[in-house]
Amino acid sequence: MDLTYLEYAANGFYLLAVFLAARNSIHTWWLGIIGCILFAGLFYQVQLYAEVLLMLFFTATNLIGWYQWGRASGTKHVSQTPIKRLAGYSALALFVTVLYGYMLHRLTDAYAPFIDSAILMFSVIAQFLLMNRKLETWWFWLVVNTLAVPLYFSRDLQLTAIVYIGFWFNAWYGLYMWRKLSRREEIDGEVQRGN
């Protein structure tokens, strides 16, 4: 497949999947699987190997997320992660970023191995938080998108960079929507306890 068409197709599926995640829709998962497979092929061709690994990881976790969200009956609850756990996740992500970035730098012809590795690690955490409907997923996606936009521009993936600018705004939208949903659930819980 031509690189341009591959980039358009990958972004199209992924854009819709990310928008639906902010809307707390189960359809985010199957659309994400298609987008991830297409992106894996694209990133391999432009030597962003950590991104290829990330897309394979996302494909697997999209299957799990689809299953988990499909099992949930009734209201789809959003919850928060304790601050100590978030600090631990962030420290682990930074540590693995340095190790994996160094490995890519020494053993491959990877482009921007440390930035690429940071996107990988913070995306992994964000994805696990998303799968478990944790509000903080959107903060991690903001970090990922902030790093990804200049990286993609530097590899002449202008369309992907522009889409990731959209993802950056979508992360703010997701944060807003999930906070709103979380507050509503708290109020509903208080009303039920009061009865």
Answer yes or no: is pLDDT of 144 > 90: yes
Average pLDDT over the chain, rounded to an integer:
90
Q: How far apart are CA 86 and CA 80, in angstroms?
A: 10
Tokens linked to 26: 């189960």
CB atoms < 10 A from the CB of 82, how many?
9
58-71: pLDDT as tens digits: 999 999 999 988 88
What's the confidence (pLDDT) of residue 140? 96
Q: How far apart are CA 185 and CA 170, in angstroms?
A: 22
What's the confidence (pLDDT) of residue 63? 95
CB atoms < 10 A from the CB of 106, how many?
9
Q: Which of 137, 126, 130 is nearest to 54 (CA)?
A: 126
157-169: pLDDT as tens digits: 898 899 999 999 9
Sequence-distant (≥ 6) Cβ neighbours of residue 151 within 8 angstroms: 48, 112, 115, 116, 119
What's the confidence (pLDDT) of residue 17? 93
What's the confidence (pLDDT) of residue 71? 81
Q: Could you tell me which residues are beta bridge partners of residue 134?
A: 79
Answer yes or no: is pLDDT of 192 > 90: no
Indicate the residue type of 143. V
Residue 65: domain span: 3-194
Q: Which residue has the higher pLDDT, 73 or 61?
A: 61
Total of domains in the chain: 1
92-143: pLDDT as tens digits: 999 999 999 999 999 999 899 999 999 999 999 999 999 888 999 999 999 9
- Hey, which of 16-25, 94-103, 183-192 has the most confident mean pLDDT? 94-103
